[in-house]
Structure 1
Amino acid sequence: MAKKALLKRIECAYLPVKDVAASAEWYERVLGLKLRSPIEPGRGAIMIMDSGQWLFLLPCENGHPLHFMTTGWAENGMPFEMFPICFETDDIRSMYQLLQQSGAWTEETVRDEGGCGLQLNFKDPDGNKFQVWQQPVAAGVPAQ
């Protein structure tokens, strides 16, 4: 008998940021997330994604961005700076343009990974590295 997984989904994520107010403004302006409530001095901010899930932006003065090195990702076994979170979007190309306009680090272009959809790696102003993913394009339906 197969054991049922006891973890259902990721409810929220906690992100280290140097300046909570500046980061909240960036997540709102560039990524379209909504600030849940006013930011209190010395506290974090809660940003709400389209799905209703929360991203907590927590103060981290020295900055410890989310990413790590792995040799288990690149096909050639070379070290790769990995992202710990992959987000989903319905409009990756618009997101890419907004990230570029904001001056954020992104890969050079949106990658079409066939059955794995459209993908893009990017960093927020604090250096937290993420991937964003869009569902694979159905046959005969043009990509957004």
Structure 2
Amino acid sequence: MITTDPTPGTPCWLDLGAPDVKATAAFYGAVLGWKYEPMEGEGEGAGDSEEMEGGMFQKDGKTVAGLGKLTEEGARSAWMIYFTVDDADAVSRAVERAGGTVRVPTRDLGDWGRMAQFDDPQGGQFAVWQPGKNAGFELADKPGSLSWTELYTSDAAAAKEFYGGVLDWRFGDMEMPSGEGTYTIITPAGQPDERMQGGLMELAKEDLSLAGGRPYWHPVFAVTDCDTAVAAVAKNGGSVQMGPADMEGVGRLAVCLDPSNADFVVLAPAEPATPAAPAKG
């Protein structure tokens, strides 16, 4: 369960770099019911000819994610997931000791907090956030917000060793119901099982073609109705890689691509089981 509590090792923010900010904002507005709030100086007051460069997504008046212009040459459009840490500089050093790479060195974002971005040893990209006045997103585990994170990697054992050391995670393996392999559940160390926040799964490099054979993280967004969300994806220029499909004990989900091929999952969670009424003797 993902929350807005800034516990070290937990997801706290995500943002998307897109080649067309305006079109991407419209897409997620249609699919997830998000309202886009451009940065100051953009939008109608800035003039129709000025291109939008980025801003924040909101759901029910609460900030859920960020959106910016994709500027890195050769980079693909993709969601970047941030995890809360107490000391971003210490994490940067730990990443390098563990064989990872610092993509964006630690920097201050005013009094909001400090951030850094990394590659894990296999090339999977992630980021960290050291909170200042801003702890991250304001809504989680509700329709239209982040409810789970997921890593597809070519080496699950190496991923567990790296992230366990860098972000102090603990892991639990379970067999997939259809016999398709092992799925690893991620929980921050010291937290109860109900604070599980994501999973990782080993795939062959040829199955990681979306990122050129490298591992990649993607977000899972909660929705009220998976089929309705999937229909909106298709209607607004996106596509579906898998689903909709029912996963026992999880819910109904689909793996989707937005119009710029950034991947994400929509999930209508399964209803909690209703306790049986006690037998009358």
TM-score calculated relative to the size of structure 2: 0.41
Q: Aligned partners of 1:24, 1:138: CA distance in 2, in Å?
A: 33
Identity level (%): 19
Going from structure 1 to structure 2, the CA distance change for 1:98 and 1:133 (only over 3 Å counts) comes to same
Corresponding position: 1:110 with 2:236: no
Q: CA shift at 1:66, angstroms?
A: 2.1
Going from structure 1 to structure 2, the CA distance change for 1:123 and 1:83 (only over 3 Å counts) comes to farther
Q: Aligned partners of 2:52, 2:237: CA distance in 1, in Å?
A: 27
Going from structure 1 to structure 2, the CA distance change for 1:10 and 1:19 (only over 3 Å counts) comes to same
Q: Aligned partners of 1:10, 1:110: CA distance in 2, in Å?
A: 25
What letter matches 1:20 in structure 2?
V
Alignment of 1:21-32 (within 5 A): 21-32=22-33
TM-score calculated relative to the size of structure 1: 0.73
Q: Which residue of 2 aligns with 1:34?
A: 35
Gaps of 5+ in 2: 1-5, 43-50, 80-123, 125-151, 157-175, 183-201, 209-215, 275-281
Q: Aligned partners of 1:35, 1:103: CA distance in 2, in Å?
A: 18
Q: Aligned partners of 1:45, 1:94: CA distance in 2, in Å?
A: 26
Q: Which residue of 2 aligns with 1:48?
A: 58
Q: Aligned partners of 1:15, 1:110: CA distance in 2, in Å?
A: 23
What letter matches 2:229 in structure 1?
M
Q: Which residue of 2 aligns with 1:12?
A: 13
Kindly provide the CA deviation profile for residues 59-91 of structure 1, in whole angstroms up to 9, marking residues without a partner as x.
014452227652349628542445521111111
2:181 pairs, out of 63, 66, 75, with 75
Q: Aligned partners of 2:242, 2:61: CA distance in 1, in Å?
A: 28
What letter matches 2:225 in structure 1?
D
Which of 118-127 and 104-113 deviates more?
Answer: 104-113
Q: Aligned partners of 2:30, 2:203: CA distance in 1, in Å?
A: 35
Gaps of 5+ in 1: none
Going from structure 1 to structure 2, the CA distance change for 1:23 and 1:50 (only over 3 Å counts) comes to same
Which of 73-82 and 87-96 deviates more?
Answer: 73-82
Give the 3-state SS of the residue equivalent to 2:62 in structure 1.
Answer: coil
Q: Which residue of 2 aligns with 1:88?
A: 222
Q: Aligned partners of 1:18, 1:37: CA distance in 2, in Å?
A: 15
Count of residue pairs the alignment pairs up: 136
Q: Aligned partners of 2:61, 2:9: CA distance in 1, in Å?
A: 15
